[in-house]
Amino acid sequence: MRPSRRWFLRGIGAGAGSLAVGCPTTGSLTDDDDTANDDDSAANDDDATANDDDATGSDPFEGAEFLGLAELGPDATRPLDETINQGLDGRRYVDLADLDQDTLVLSNEDFYIRTREPDLIDLTDWGVTIEGLVDSDVEVDLATLQGMATDQGVHLMECSGNGGGGRFGLLSAAQWSGVPVTDVLDLASPTGAATRILIEGFDGHSEGSTFSTPGAAWVYTREQLAAAGAFFAITMNGEPLPADHGYPVRLLVPGWYGCCCIKWVNRIAFVDDNEPATSQMQEFAQRTHQTQAHALASAYSPGDIHIAAMPIRVEKYRVTDGSILYKVVGLMWGGTQTTDALTLDWGEGPVPVDTYEHAQNLTWTLWEHAWAPPSTGSFTLAMGVDDPSIPTRRLDSGWYLRDVAIDET
């Protein structure tokens, strides 16, 4: 059974290195007059909380002594929290092990980077040209876009190539403002032949890349962009976009991998179903889980992120009865449905994760689990979702497995 919300808040407040929580969530049964349904669920929450309060020791870390972190693999083969390389090979991997409830919106300086600002960019008179299958081309200047921008809330981004070498640190969330893509598309008159939309960004680097093909563009349907709430971002955490994050305008397609979120956007083209896949779509076909690197853009399925989860640190405690207990702290993100069916498996079968409140899919959620390992040694921690209605492509394939070394039980 899921623990109550207050159990969660108490749980994550225990011990050093624990998560700080900003907002109290409990209240009287009558302190707000939202919908009747809300009030009912609030009543249920309060009841569950009351039961937890009566049961002493329901928070296993209450009064515990923090002893340090257990070693969580894989070791990084890239530097973390440091911007490295130039151009297409520019990277910044976030050290996710430090995240807590207060730092779930990363600063512009901390946010992951994949491709730094192209050195051949010319920012004078920046605008976005809308062309292709339209009655006449439209040039949207930057001031117009800035004037149309509204708050878009907190959104997570993940590079489709997010892997163990960077300790899965190509993953970040920030607060954005921007212009809904559909509002910009409405500035042009597409012809009846137009079925898809190509969005392209500047990618002129004087140096080539060892890993990556230059040319950043992806093709979407209007329905996909509208359903995802795609927007042209203008600010990030209240500041103009940083150069490395696409200044002056980038695309953000919430819930899709970063490779679909074109930076330095300067061109939109209405196209039809015969439009070839862009070089970017071909390069990222496998990482966005396409069945093959299709030749036509219309053959691509959405670059959407299924619900994913992984541990980010394992805290070791001596609890009040003198025994050793570990607190596995992790993230879950992606997907389009919320769930309370997250599981953790250390080799003895999946177990429901103790403590989390999965309230939305736009940004990441922290979870915690009290763990008494069966022995010392190395364990592989595998996350899952015990709900067949929720697709979990990458979890099923073992993408985010983390090994942990336990030296004492």
Ligand X SMILES: Nc1nc2c(c(=O)[nH]1)N[C@H]1C(S)=C(S)[C@@H](COP(=O)(O)O)O[C@H]1N2
Is there binding between residue 94 and Mo ion (CB under 5 A)? no
Picked from ligand X, Mo ion, none, the partner binding residue 245 (CB below 5 to 8 A depending on kind) is ligand X
The sign of the CA dihedral 307, 308, 311, 312 is: negative
Among 14, 128, 157, 197, binds ligand X (CB under 6 A): 157
According to CB under 5 A, which residues from 20 to 49 bind Mo ion?
Answer: none
| Max Cα distance, the chain (Å) | 76
What would the two tokens of residue 168 be? Answer: 């899965």
Please give the size of the binding site for Mo ion, defined by CB under 5 A.
4
**Residue 128 neighbours by CB under 8 Å, 6+ apart:** 139, 140, 145, 184, 232, 249, 265, 266, 267, 268
Is there binding between residue 316 and ligand X (CB under 6 A)? no
Picked from ligand X, Mo ion, none, the partner binding residue 162 (CB below 5 to 8 A depending on kind) is none
Among 6, 167, 196, 245, binds ligand X (CB under 6 A): 245
DSSP annotation of 87: G
DSSP annotation of 46: H
DSSP structure string for 177-204: EEEEHHHHHTTS-B-TT--EEEEEE---
- 181 to each of 123, 232, 237, 335, 367, how far by Cα in Å? 21, 6, 20, 21, 33
User: How far apart, in whole angstroms, are the C-alpha atoms of residue 67 and residue 385?
Assistant: 30
Is there binding between residue 327 and ligand X (CB under 6 A)? no
> Which C-beta is closer to ligand X: that of 86 or that of 338?
86
Binding mask 219-258 for Mo ion (x = CB under 5 A): ---------------------------------------x
According to CB under 5 A, which residues from 147 to 166 bind Mo ion?
Answer: 159
Closest CA to 339 of 311, 309, 314: 309
CB 128 within 8 A of CB 159: no
Picked from Mo ion, ligand X, none, the partner binding residue 174 (CB below 5 to 8 A depending on kind) is none
Is there binding between residue 114 and Mo ion (CB under 5 A)? yes
User: How far apart, in whole angstroms, are the C-alpha atoms of residue 145 and residue 249?
Assistant: 9
CB 345 within 8 A of CB 381: yes
Picked from Mo ion, ligand X, none, the partner binding residue 262 (CB below 5 to 8 A depending on kind) is ligand X
Picked from ligand X, Mo ion, none, the partner binding residue 342 (CB below 5 to 8 A depending on kind) is none
Among 159, 174, 249, 310, binds ligand X (CB under 6 A): 159
According to CB under 6 A, which residues from 109 to 128 bind ligand X?
Answer: 111-115
According to CB under 6 A, which residues from 162 to 201 bind ligand X?
Answer: 201
DSSP three-state, residue 342:
strand
Region from 107-115, 197-205, 244-252, 318-326 binding Mo ion, contact rule CB under 5 A: 107-115
CB nearest ligand X: which residue?
258
DSSP three-state, residue 281:
helix
Residues that bind ligand X (CB under 6 A): 88, 111-115, 157, 159, 201, 203, 216, 245, 258-259, 261-264
